[in-house]
């Protein structure tokens, strides 16, 4: 049982650490965000500090574990997309696609809101999924505001209109909530045979 829990944590962390920086790279290339130069001792591609995979791994882990806790508390035993690997691959691809495009979209609020609604309808369709997306969006955005305030990285003008971060950022976290939350439940079913 302990080994399965460690495996769940490790898979979630590694997935976030490997996939998340791809979206971040597109934010850097679109000049949406920037990391201070000469502040960190190791940079990937000369623009992304070594801590980026650690941040994304931790965020993915937090989303996955917290969703599992909420599903257990509310006795949620079925999600439309937890028994199919294709759904998981689609959800993560969808998230990375919109994360990567968000710095380039002409009306990001509109497109990201529509993207979230479509993903929620396709993969979730529960009131708990909406609540978790709202909580994830609030917590993730608040944490990024804290990182920006402490100089870890910065959003560039004009997108930094929400306390230093992009005002459309909560939509990305809401999309991540659906894709990561469903994947964590898919993993639990594969490892334990049940969501409980």
- Summarize pLDDT for 52-106 with one digit per residue, the tens: 999 999 999 999 999 988 888 887 666 666 667 888 889 889 999 999 999 999 9
Looking at residues 116-138, what average pLDDT do you find? 94
More confident residue, 63 or 183: 63
Looking at residues 36-47, what average pLDDT do you find? 84
pTM of the model: 0.93
Mean pLDDT of the chain: 90
Q: Write the DSSP string, 180-192.
A: HHHHHHHHHHHHH
Number of domains in the chain: 1
Looking at residues 107-113, what average pLDDT do you find? 96
Q: Which domain holds residue 142?
A: 2-192
The answer to whether 91 touches 178, Cβ cutoff 8 Å, is yes
The answer on pLDDT for 158 being more than 80 is yes
What number of other Cβ atoms are within 10 A of residue 42's Cβ? 8
The answer on pLDDT for 196 being more than 70 is no
37 burial type by CB count under 10 A (0-12 exposed, 13-18 middle, 19+ buried):
exposed
- The whole-number pLDDT of residue 45 equals 77
The answer to whether 52 touches 60, Cβ cutoff 8 Å, is no
The answer on pLDDT for 133 being more than 90 is yes
């Amino acid at each position: 049982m302990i080994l399965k829990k460690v495996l769940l944590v490790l898979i979630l962390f590694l997935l976030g650490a490997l996939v998340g920086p791809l979206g971040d790279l597109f934010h850097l290339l679109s000049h949406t965000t920037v990391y201070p130069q000469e502040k960190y001792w190791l940079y990937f591609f000369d623009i992304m500090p070594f801590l980026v995979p650690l941040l994304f791994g931790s965020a993915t882990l937090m989303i996955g574990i917290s969703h599992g806790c909420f599903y257990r508390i509310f006795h949620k035993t079925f999600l439309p997309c937890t028994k199919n690997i294709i759904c998981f691959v689609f959800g993560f691809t969808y998230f990375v696609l919109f994360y990567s495009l968000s710095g380039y979209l002409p009306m990001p609020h509109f497109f990201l809101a529509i993207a979230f609604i479509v993903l929620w309808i396709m993969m979730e369709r529960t009131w708990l999924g909406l609540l978790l997306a709202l909580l994830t969006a609030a917590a993730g955005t608040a944490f990024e505001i804290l990182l920006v305030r402490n100089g870890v990285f910065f959003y560039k003008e004009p997108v930094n209109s929400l306390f230093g971060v992009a005002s459309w950022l909560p939509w990305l976290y809401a999309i991540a909530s659906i894709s990561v939350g469903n994947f964590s439940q898919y993993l639990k079913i594969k490892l334990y045979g049940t969501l409980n």
